[in-house]
Amino acid sequence: MKTAYTFSAVCLILFCSNFAKGTQMIENPILRGFNPDPSIVLVNDDYYIATSTFEWFPGVAIHHSKDLVNWELACYALNSTKYIDLRGNPTSGGVWAPCLTYSDGLFYLVYSDVKHFAGPYKDVHNYLITAKDINGPWSEPVYLNSSGFDPSMFHDDDGKKWLLNMLWDFRYERSDVFAGIIIQQYDPNTKKLIGPITNIFKGSSLGVTEGPHIYKLNGYYYLMTAEGGTGQGHAVTLARSKNLLGPYEIQPDNPVLTARNTPDSPLTRAGHASLVQTQTDQWYMVHLCGRPIKKDGKDRCVMGRETAIQKVKWSDDGWLHLENNTNLPQVIVPAPDLPLHPFAAEPARENFDSKILNKHFSTLRVPPDESWLSLAQRPGWLRIYGRESLGSKHRQSMVARRITSLNSTAETYVEFEPKTFQQAAGLICIYDTQNYYYIKVTNYDNVGKCVTVCTSINDEYKELSSQVFPLTEKGCFLKAEIDYDKLYLSYSFNGKQWNRINETFDITTLSDEACNEGSFTGAFVGICVQDLAWTKLSADFDFFEYNVK
């Protein structure tokens, strides 16, 4: 039996056992699919988690819950290019590690825009926006600094506000370019950082110290950081001090959370955490994690880094521990003593009947505007105008959503009249500009309008010349089926009788671990159009359906 299904069976057994005891449980991950670097805040009776979105637009996904069990996608904070311009940003650049806090009747959101990170340098700019309501409108962005990534805002009880971020030291003679956590006061009146910059924490022996958050409790300042790198060695470190500026003492049994020594854990890559205290005085930690496929002896996380939650407690000596007295992330976690608040299930099929693009869709680096996308020109259809190639980091015409399960299907119907091989439209499973599987409608010189498949694995591009099928109908149905580590692509003329492409694809190539470009995101499935002749030929999509089996 495959690991994924064994894992589900174990979850079911644990759920049934705890239900029999009358205990409500949470199943991890709580935010499935690419949702890393969670930052959680409680405002009144509402919990919000902000996560990284990297090169996908809009930026900073914000999920909402009232019970820590059920979650819904509430909104995206960076929904305009005035907040962030991602055109040309590198793969896995863009929005890194947002921090969401609340003070003085305002939500504070700080985030990084990473313009370059290969080699010794990190061109990263940090910004702050505020809003009275989580749905906005958000203020004009305030530039903060560019000294390192993972900015975080701390609101002290004396009214002062402080910005933290990791310090990047590009000098090669240093043994560690992660040079510690720095802090500087922020003046909300002048909207500027003021006063001296202090390096308050150089990290533990785990190294790669980033993702700082400060909490004040019982006279101590607690500094929580991510360490060990964002792969299998990831971890959560905790340190404390009576003085905000340090020195900080590391928890004796650090790390607080990690799967670095348990490679067979169903949740790996555990780290980059954030704390919240419930209305009932219970404590929880949200953190990023991965659900790996074992492939050729290695882990591959197709869905990238997701968000999980753990129940935690403070010991008598003032240190933090998981509720289960280990530091290993758990799949099944006790829920808080709060009334359950489920949300309506997301419909599997999007029929494009609205004038606004469904919030579960993202676009690649550019906003979904009328220059290339329309829900009005043909009511009930999504019209997409072809632009640049799948390798472009500027003006692609792509609408996609996160893959959330290794047992799922995506389907669409497209009408398209290409005149040349330079024009294509179809269904794509994509990780980045170098890694994708694409079943498309195009035009071959010796065939005419046809359905075929192209693939790219670490920029090794391939057209499946043996899989070219004439298309005389106005449109066709396209389908992608994910079965654990396998991907199947199919087409149909009536949506009932399917013709499967005669090749089985390896979905695990669409993962952080398999991609070459220093990647930290996750796989998407969606629809797209290209017109390399730049005539902006359009394709019409009747629906997009994503089902988790």
Active-site residues: which are they? 37, 210
φ, ψ for residue 167, nearest 5 deg: -100, 125
Q: Are 40 and 276 in contact (CB under 8 A)?
A: yes
Q: Burial letters for 342-363: b for 16+ Cβ neighbours within 10 Å, e otherwise?
A: eeeeeeeebebeeeebbbbbbb
Q: Which amino acid is at 259?
A: A
Q: Are 409 and 481 in contact (CB under 8 A)?
A: yes
Residue length of the chain: 549
CA distances from 145 to 126, 164, 472, 493 (A): 5, 10, 57, 55
> How many helices and strands in the chain, by DSSP H and E?
1, 42
CA distances from 366 to 59, 115, 178, 525 (A): 10, 15, 31, 17
**Cα distance between the two ends of the chain:** 17
Cα gap 41→333, rounded to integer Å: 19
E runs forming strands in 54-205: 56-57, 59-65, 72-78, 94-103, 106-116, 123-131, 142-145, 152-155, 161-168, 178-187, 192-201
- The DSSP secondary structure of 201-238, one letter per residue, reads E---TT---EEEEEEEETTEEEEEEEES-SSTT-EEEE
Question: Residue written as tokens 């939500």?
Answer: 107
Cα gap 423→537, rounded to integer Å: 8
Question: Residue written as tokens 């680096």?
Answer: 365
Contacts of 315 (CB under 8 A, 6+ apart): 321
Which of these, 285, 214, 209, 265, lies nearest to 243 by C-alpha position? 214
Q: Are 416 and 456 in contact (CB under 8 A)?
A: no
- 471 Cα distance to chain centroid: 37
Q: Are 539 and 399 in contact (CB under 8 A)?
A: no
